[in-house]
Structure 1
């Protein structure tokens, strides 16, 4: 049987794996599914059409699967989908999606969300990200795998943060942050690429060298964006092991209607 504290309120229709733990005074709604090994701390609310994978941890006062903070929302059965192995520290808030998008907010695997992180409706969070305290994502924000967002950072709606990118403390992100790039400030500016993070993830010196060349094309050569993209595309095949990183950058730059932080 699930370990449910006697003061918790769990709707009989909720689907909880037998190994799930629910702490004192927490509330689990009817349309919630909680996977194996997940633990819900005290005073949490998990509601909405919310599907949560295995081994997730929710610390006190989290609000997960709440209605989107969108005045156009009219009660549609939109969804929240959370993968495996995520940590939600104290007072995190995550909303379901809206019909103005795909109707779903998605969070991948192994993400570390510190206290007071807010993930609004229709956001897409990859895997292995870190968001420090009071990181705030507006609606429709996309964050790629391995991205790191510094505390007190705000991200404008429809903006994207690429894979392996990094944002410094109290940044104001109102345009797209390309993969691998480090940004900071208000207004936000680029400050190099995430070389140390790539080393820690096992990138070879040759692959890191290609990432450095892409960064130089975008930020150090005074090229137009189209010229920078052409120079980046020319890197394909020069280090075959790095072609994935080159394609990742090209795909990201091909779909940047808000422009990039530059």
Structure 2
């Protein structure tokens, strides 16, 4: 049995399978398909030709544009027939041709997307990704499986992020970049292969970080990446000097955390 709110507006050419949950004031335009395990929150709009399938939950206020396919099976060769999930937060914008996949049972079974994110045309979120909030994926961005993208990251058009890679909070990745290694919070990465080119100072300023703090972070950045030892050793050596600077501590904690990938740097071969 469908559970469709009385205020929902569904075009007669669209199909909503039995079992789907459709919230208040949802608008489903022509030629859409909603699978039987889908939950659409209140105030969601599907313009037309949108496919939402799998065990997918979409948060309140999200808008999905034509030809997006949300909740498709993992494209992993290890995908099993076991039900897995895709969880999308509130107020996201999912533009034309975007694809998002559910998780894999071997890795927790969930792909998770936060709130207020913008996914531009033909971008892809693969299985088991973990995305924060206020993120922008520009056109044709490709996230491989198990990628973590923290809050307020901007990924430029056509960039590709390797599986299991972490992109730290408020990092900026330039268009067409190849992200093979973890990107520190507030870092800027460009190129193929992708190399750090400094800090996302514009983004830091827009986030309300004052100029004096930015200068402190710049100093720490130079010590980390231009110091005499490896990146991790340099980071550990300066930790006590920056205990009162939250952005630097965030970078140091990111560097010190366990990861399946090496760290991006201004030059190859130094970890």
TM-score, normalization by structure 1: 0.94
The one of 71, 76, 81 aligned to 1:70: 76
User: In the alignment, which residue of structure 1 is the partner of 2:230?
Assistant: 224
List per-residue Cα deviations over 1:219-247 (Å, max 9, x = no partner).
Answer: 2335422332124412333xx3x32x233
1:161-176 counterparts in 2 under 5 A? Answer: 161-176=167-182
Distance change (3 Å), C-alpha of 1:100 and 1:231: same
Aligned mates of 1:45, 1:86 — CA distance in 2: 16
Inter-partner Cα distance in structure 1 for 2:67 and 2:195: 34
Give SS of 2:236's match: helix
User: Do the aligned partners of 2:164 and 2:260 also contact (CA within 8 Å) in 1?
Assistant: no
- Shift of the alpha carbon at 1:218? 2.5
8 Å Cα contact 1:16-1:33 kept in structure 2: yes
TM-score in terms of structure 2 length? 0.91
Question: SS state of the match for residue 134, structure 1?
Answer: coil
CA separation of 1:87/1:235 partners in 2, compared to 1, >3 Å: closer, same or farther?
Answer: farther
What SS does the aligned partner of 1:198 have?
A: helix
Provide the rounded CA distance (Å) in 2 between the counterparts of 1:58 and 1:150: 20
For 1:232 and 1:104, locate their aligned partners in 2 and report how far apart those are by CA, in whole Å. 37
Equivalent of 1:189 in 186, 191, 195: 195
Distance 1:11 1:232 in 2: 58
TM-aligned CA deviation for residue 142 of structure 1: 0.5
**Given the alignment, which residue of 254, 257, 261 partners 1:258?**
261
- Give matches, 1:137-176, under 5 Å: 137-176=143-182
1:113 maps to 119
* Aligned-residue offset at 1:205: 2.1
* SS at structure 2 position matched to 1:235: helix
- Do the aligned residues in 1 keep the contact of 2:10 with 2:28 (CA within 8 Å)? yes
Structure 1: which 5+ runs fail to align?
none
> CA offsets per residue over residues 138-167 of structure 1, 9 Å max, x none?
100000101110001011110111101011
Deviation digits for residues 47-91 of structure 1, max 9, x if unmatched?
111111111010000000000001211211100001111111100
Partner of 1:234: helix, strand, or coil? helix
Alignment of 1:83-102 (within 5 A): 83-102=89-108
Pair 1:135 & 2:138 matched: no
Corresponding residue number in structure 2 for 1:12: 18
Q: Give the root-mean-square deviation of aligned CA atoms.
A: 1.3
C-alpha contact (below 8 Å) 1:129/1:146 kept by paired residues:
yes
Provide the secondary structure at the position in 1 that maps to 2:71.
strand
Alignment of 1:21-60 (within 5 A): 21-60=27-66
Unaligned runs of 5+ in 2: 1-6, 266-271
Aligned length: 258
